[in-house]
C-alpha cells in the first residue's frame, strides 16, 4: 500500500473536496481518499504507487490543479495492523 499526498490548487470549500475525491475515485484505483481545502491537499491510499501524471490526468477538466506530490509506502496502524 502507498500513501500519496497531493498538493491541489483551487479547492475553496467542502464541495470542492467532494469533487476532488469523486474525480480521483472514479479514475484511479484507490482504497481511500480524503481532501482538505484548508490544507490544499488530498491524501490517497492506494495499492500501487501513483505518479503525478496519473493524478493530474484524473483531475483534468475539473478546475483543480496539482502543484506537488509526495508518495511513501503505507502500513495501516492500529490493533489489526500490528505485526
Give residue for cell 475539473: 62
pLDDT, position 76: 81
CA 66 to mean position of chain CA atoms:
10
Domain ranges of the chain: 2-73
pLDDT, position 77: 78
Count other C-beta atoms under 10 Å from residue 19's C-beta. Answer: 18
Mean pLDDT for back-to-back runs of 10 residues, the chain (83 residues): 97 97 97 98 97 96 96 83 52
Second-level CATH architecture of 2-73:
2-Layer Sandwich (3.30)
DSSP-derived 3-state class of residue 34: strand
pLDDT, position 21: 98
C-alpha cell at 30: 484507490
Amino acid at each position: 500500500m502507498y500513501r500519496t499526498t497531493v498538493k491541489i490548487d483551487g479547492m475553496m470549500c467542502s464541495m470542492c473536496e467532494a469533487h476532488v475525491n469523486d474525480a480521483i475515485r472514479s479514475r484511479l484505483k484507490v482504497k481511500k481518499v480524503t481532501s482538505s481545502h484548508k490544507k490544499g491537499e488530498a491524501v490517497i491510499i492506494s495499492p500501487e504507487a501513483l505518479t503525478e501524471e496519473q493524478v493530474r490526468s484524473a483531475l483534468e477538466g475539473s478546475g483543480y490543479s496539482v502543484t506537488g506530490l509526495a508518495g511513501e509506502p503505507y502500513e495501516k496502524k492500529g490493533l489489526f495492523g500490528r505485526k
